[in-house]
């Protein structure tokens, strides 16, 4: 749990009640692969072929689906306008790839690559000035885990899960942005908060330079 919410001052508390920990863990389960289906999830190495292994990805906070969508800032991901059956079928373009040739169902806490549609398919951690720290890759990047169930047991479609990125060391969540798609991490900041933090940093750097200059550095 500390790994998932390591940047949160609440999670860092050693005296945090078990009920509060459980509530936070449950709140991280903001996703559902294959809404409207009930079967073990299976992986594949690329988008083409095995269409039954493509899934929609429903956000439980919005009640809508995450899809490829052009954005002025950040990665080209956004939310559908509705959650109809037709929309669910249209945006069933998410898939997961694993490193080994194992054809067993996807397992909780297994390291996989997360992908959407054709080239470039794979979603990876990538630092950005604006928007969630995600980018695209032409090749699989194995840095995601589906969490929310007993590690090693099969992941079922139609179940609430958490999407954990090992590079970010956080779960992907819904986040109301004013620039870029509305997804983020528990530690994400809105644009004005980022600018404020940058202003503080710039102010500190200016003060440091002034002190060093006064000292003759």
- Token code pair at residue 67: 């899809």
| 119 and 153 inside one domain | yes
- Token code pair at residue 209: 């330079």
Q: Which domain holds residue 200?
A: 188-217
**Mean pLDDT within 61-76:** 92
Which has more pLDDT, 22 or 60? 60
pLDDT for residue 210: 52
Q: Is the pLDDT of residue 3 over 60?
A: no
| 69 and 175 inside one domain | yes
CB 154 within 8 A of CB 109: no
| 102 and 202 inside one domain | no
State which of 15-29, 160-174, 194-208 shows the largest mean pLDDT: 160-174
How many residues appear in the chain? 217
pLDDT for residue 196: 55
Strand, coil or helix: what is 64? Answer: strand
pLDDT for residue 22: 85
Confidence band of 19 (pLDDT split at 50, 70, 90): confident
**Mean pLDDT within 185-201:** 60
Reported as half-sphere exposure (CB side, CA atoms, 13 A), residue 30 has a value of: 21
pLDDT for residue 23: 85
Position 10 in a domain: no
What's the CA gap between 95 and 53, in Å, rounded?
A: 7
pLDDT digits (tens, 9 = 90+) for 97-123: 999 878 999 999 999 999 999 899 999
Number of domains composing the chain: 2
* Average pLDDT along the chain: 85
CB 74 within 8 A of CB 130: yes
Rg (CA), the chain: 20
22: phi then psi, degrees, rounded to nearest 5: -65, -40
Position 2 in a domain: no
**Mean pLDDT within 124-129:** 93
Measured at the alpha carbon of residue 189, what is the angle toward residues 187 and 192, in degrees to the nearest 5? 165
pLDDT for residue 158: 98
Q: Is the pLDDT of residue 204 over 70?
A: no
| 111 and 126 inside one domain | yes
pLDDT digits (tens, 9 = 90+) for 132-153: 999 999 999 999 999 999 999 9
Question: In percent, how much of the chain has pLDDT > 90?
Answer: 63
202: left (phi over 0), alpha (psi -120 to 50) or beta: alpha
Instruction: Tell me which residue of 140, 57, 46 sits closest to 92, measured CA to CA.
Output: 57
| 46 and 95 inside one domain | yes
What's the CA gap between 32 and 30, in Å, rounded?
A: 7
pLDDT for residue 213: 59
pLDDT for residue 95: 98
| 182 and 192 inside one domain | no
| 132 and 192 inside one domain | no
| 105 and 143 inside one domain | yes
Q: Is the pLDDT of residue 128 over 80?
A: yes
pLDDT digits (tens, 9 = 90+) for 23-52: 888 999 999 999 999 999 999 999 999 999
What CATH number has the domain bearing residue 119?
2.80.10
CB 23 within 8 A of CB 1: no
Instruction: Tell me which residue of 10, 41, 40, 36 sits closest to 25, measured CA to CA.
Output: 10
């Amino acid at each position: 749990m500390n790994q998932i919410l390591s940047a949160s001052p609440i999670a860092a508390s050693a005296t945090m009640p078990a009920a509060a920990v459980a509530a936070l863990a449950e709140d991280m389960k903001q996703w559902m692969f294959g809404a409207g289906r009930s079967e073990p999830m299976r992986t594949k190495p690329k988008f083409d072929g095995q269409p039954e292994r493509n899934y929609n990805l429903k956000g439980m906070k919005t009640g809508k689906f995450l899809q490829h969508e052009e954005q002025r800032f950040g990665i080209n991901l956004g939310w559908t306008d509705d959650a109809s059956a037709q929309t669910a079928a249209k945006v069933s373009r998410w898939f997961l790839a694993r490193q080994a040739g194992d054809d067993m169902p996807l397992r909780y806490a297994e390291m996989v690559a997360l992908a959407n549609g054709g080239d470039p398919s794979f979603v990876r951690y990538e630092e950005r000035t604006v928007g969630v720290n995600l980018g695209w890759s032409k090749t699989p990047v194995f840095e995601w885990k589906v969490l929310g169930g007993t590690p090693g047991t099969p992941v079922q479609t139609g179940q609430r899960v958490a999407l954990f990125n090992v590079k970010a060391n956080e779960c992907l969540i819904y986040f109301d942005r004013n620039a870029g798609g509305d997804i983020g991490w528990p530690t994400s900041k809105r644009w004005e908060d980022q600018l404020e933090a940058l202003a503080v940093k710039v102010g500190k750097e200016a003060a440091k330079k002034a002190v060093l200059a006064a000292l003759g550095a």
